Every structure is written in C-alpha cells, then in structure tokens.
Amino acid sequence: MKKVITYGTFDLLHWGHIHLLKRAKALGDYLVVAISSDEFNRIKHKEAYHSYEHRKLIIEAIRYVDEVIPEHNWEQKIEDIKKHNIDVFVMGDDWEGEFDFLKELCEVVYLPRTEGISTSQIKDELK
C-alpha cells in the first residue's frame, strides 16, 4: 500500500482544499492529513475560525481522507513519515523547496495551488 501525507490548517474549507486532497489521494492508496493543532496555530500566529476538533471532524468526512492526525510542531514531519510508513509527502507549490530535506525518507511532491480561491481570500472578502 502506498501511503501519502499532507499538512495544513484546513480552516474555512473550500473547493481548493478538496481539489488538493483529491490530487494527493491520487498519488497513493491511503491519505493521512495532518491538521495544525490550535496550540501550533498560536505558535505560528495563525488564527483559525474552527477549533482543531471541528476541523478534524470536517476533514474526516471527506472521502479522499483515510486518517487525520494532529500537527503540533514544525519538527514532527520526520517522525510522522517514519511512524506512518509514508511513501509520498505532498504540499502546495507555495512551499516549493521547503521540504526537500524529506527526500531522504520519501518522495516529495509540490502540487500547484488551485487558482481563484484561498482561505485568505475568503477572510478578506468576508470583511
């Protein structure tokens, strides 16, 4: 079984998120999604509208997702890859090159972002 992992806050879920998860799942057989915990978001100075538990509930309901885990810090990616026997690490291409150090452990893929939609755009338009 080929296992894939991706990371994100996944707040204010939109079709760009769904598109990313669908493309990530297509790279393997089993998709693990690591969602930033509320504590980690505070460290990153990032405010989510939904709590971790609510974001987890929403992501678990998406058919492309097989497992949801919390992300507590930047450093845990290596541990997650080993613990979950990950074959492919996926991030949006706005992170291009940032996770190349993981290529020693698994394949690293940067997927193009979905144009025309983002959580930041939604927040700006709601203001």
List the Cα angle 17/19/25 in 5-degree steps.
100
Q: Residues 84-110: pLDDT tens digits?
A: 999 999 999 989 999 999 999 999 999
Q: How many domains does the chain have?
A: 1
Residue 58 has which token pair? 């929403």
Q: Check: pTM over 0.95? Answer yes or no.
A: no
CATH number of the domain that residue 52 is part of: 3.40.50.620
What's the mean per-residue pLDDT of the chain? 92
Residues forming a β-bridge with 6: 33, 90
Catalytic residues: 44, 46
pLDDT for the residue numbered 82: 98
Whether 53 and 35 have beta carbons less than 8 Å apart is answered as no
Q: Residues 9-68: pLDDT tens digits?
A: 998 887 788 999 999 999 999 999 999 999 999 999 988 889 999 999 999 999 999 999
Chain mean position to CA 105 = 18
Q: Give the domain extent around 60.
A: 3-126
Whether 18 and 62 have beta carbons less than 8 Å apart is answered as yes
Measure Cα distances from 23 to 10, 18, 109 in Å. 16, 9, 11
pLDDT for the residue numbered 125: 66
